[in-house]
């Protein structure tokens, strides 16, 4: 499944109305601008040190472009580092963000200065493992291939010790998801924040765990599809377990805030004032600006399912929006 998603992103730009799905920065410039102001405010209260801006999985580069424009108004003009594996999306990012450096992984990011790191819908795209409760205990779910058909099967048993105690006695059929890849990246970044200073903002759809549930989903042309169909041709993602990521960051000595629901966070950062200013500048677009704001903020759209988790170096000020 990991290889399927790498192949998917490597070969296309999946974002926007003509693609497979739409993300928050593609809905409205307000999203990236407020993320940029979050970073600029933190940088200002940290005493305006020399910093680098990092984005993980920047898609088309829209969030970075909007954030950098807002940061520049606050006199923050950091060097930009984009962690991206897809050649197709690197080309799209280069068209929107002048003078960035690209990285295949977080390992090659600069190690000498504080980092302000942003990740929107990056962690949901990383590979997961599913553990399934069978009649005789927990097993890892594997994918079998029969001719051209892929399907989930129960694989070898896993020791009970790897299942969080409150979930061990779940009913047969229960599924537990883990993402060792996501945990490893958060730990590596938290270690850097502790050593170098700075902060990380994880924005994604997800929940506070530990929780059971099969959340693996495939999206193609704005519709849900069977995740076992057409490997490499549809977007695969799974809900982010914010509790596990927060614990991973704390285990490295970093401080965490949240998660806070996206709607609440955007209101705290000032989306209403920004929407009003944009509507004053473009009265002909007032209705669509209001609709975009509702899509980002409302609980029945993205406002509740999507969340912001902030991680910072000890001694750094509390990031805006988190409490």
Can you give the binding site for ligand SAH, defined by CB under 6 A? 9, 15, 23, 25-26, 57-59, 63, 83-86, 89, 120-122, 125-126
- Tell me, what DSSP letter sits at residue 75? T
Encoding tokens for residue 233? 């041709």
CA distances from 280 to 58, 157, 286, 289, 304 (A): 30, 61, 8, 11, 28
- Which residue is at the shortest CB distance from ligand SAH? 57
Find the shortest distance in angstroms from Cβ 85 to ligand SAH.
Answer: 4
Which string of b and e fits 164-176 if b means at least 16 CB within 10 Å?
A: eeebeeeeeebbb
Find the shortest distance in angstroms from Cβ 154 to ligand SAH.
Answer: 27
Find the shortest distance in angstroms from Cβ 128 to ligand SAH.
Answer: 12
Q: Which residues contact 203 (CB under 8 A, 6 or more apart)?
A: 24, 35, 118, 119, 120, 121, 262, 306, 307, 308
Q: Rounded to whole angstroms, how far apart are CA atoms 29 and 63?
A: 8
Closer to ligand SAH by Cβ: residue 19 or 110: 19
Residue with tokens 């000595």: 253
Closer to ligand SAH by Cβ: residue 52 or 84: 84
Which string of b and e fits 72-82 if b means at least 16 CB within 10 Å?
A: eeeebebebbb
Find the shortest distance in angstroms from Cβ 118 to ligand SAH.
Answer: 9
Closer to ligand SAH by Cβ: residue 83 or 249: 83
Closer to ligand SAH by Cβ: residue 4 or 260: 4
Find the shortest distance in angstroms from Cβ 2 to ligand SAH.
Answer: 8
Closer to ligand SAH by Cβ: residue 116 or 132: 116
């Amino acid at each position: 499944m990991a290889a399927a998603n790498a192949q998917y992103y490597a070969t296309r730009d999946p974002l926007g109305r003509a693609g497979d799905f739409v993300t928050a920065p593609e809905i409205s410039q307000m999203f990236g601008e407020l993320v940029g102001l979050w970073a600029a405010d933190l940088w200002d209260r940290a005493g305006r040190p020399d910093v680098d801006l990092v984005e993980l999985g920047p898609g088309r580069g829209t969030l970075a472009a909007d954030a950098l424009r807002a940061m520049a108004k606050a006199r923050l003009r950091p060097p930009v580092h984009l962690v991206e594996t897809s050649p197709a999306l690197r080309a799209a990012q280069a068209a929107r963000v002048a003078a960035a450096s690209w990285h295949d992984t977080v390992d090659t990011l600069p190690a000498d200065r504080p980092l302000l790191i942003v990740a929107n819908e990056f962690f949901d795209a990383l590979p997961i493992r599913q553990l399934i409760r069978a009649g005789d205990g927990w097993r890892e779910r594997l994918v079998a291939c029969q001719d051209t058909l892929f399907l989930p099967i129960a694989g070898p048993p896993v020791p009970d010790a790897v299942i969080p105690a409150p979930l061990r006695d779940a009913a047969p059929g229960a599924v537990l998801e883990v993402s060792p890849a996501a945990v490893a990246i958060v730990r590596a970044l938290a270690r850097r924040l502790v050593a170098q200073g700075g902060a990380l903002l994880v924005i994604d759809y997800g929940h506070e765990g530990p929780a059971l549930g099969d959340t693996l989903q495939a999206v193609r042309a704005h519709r849900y599809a069977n995740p076992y169909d057409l490997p490499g041709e549809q977007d695969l993602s799974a809900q982010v377990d914010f509790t596990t990521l927060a614990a991973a960051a704390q285990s490295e000595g970093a401080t965490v805030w949240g998660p806070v629901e996206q709607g609440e966070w955007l209101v705290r950062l000032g989306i209403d004032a920004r929407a009003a200013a944009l509507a004053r500048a473009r009265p002909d677009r007032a209705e669509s600006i209001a609709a975009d704001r509702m899509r980002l903020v409302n609980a029945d759209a993205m406002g509740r399912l999507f969340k912001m988790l902030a991680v910072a170096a000890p001694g750094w000020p509390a990031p805006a929006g988190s409490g």
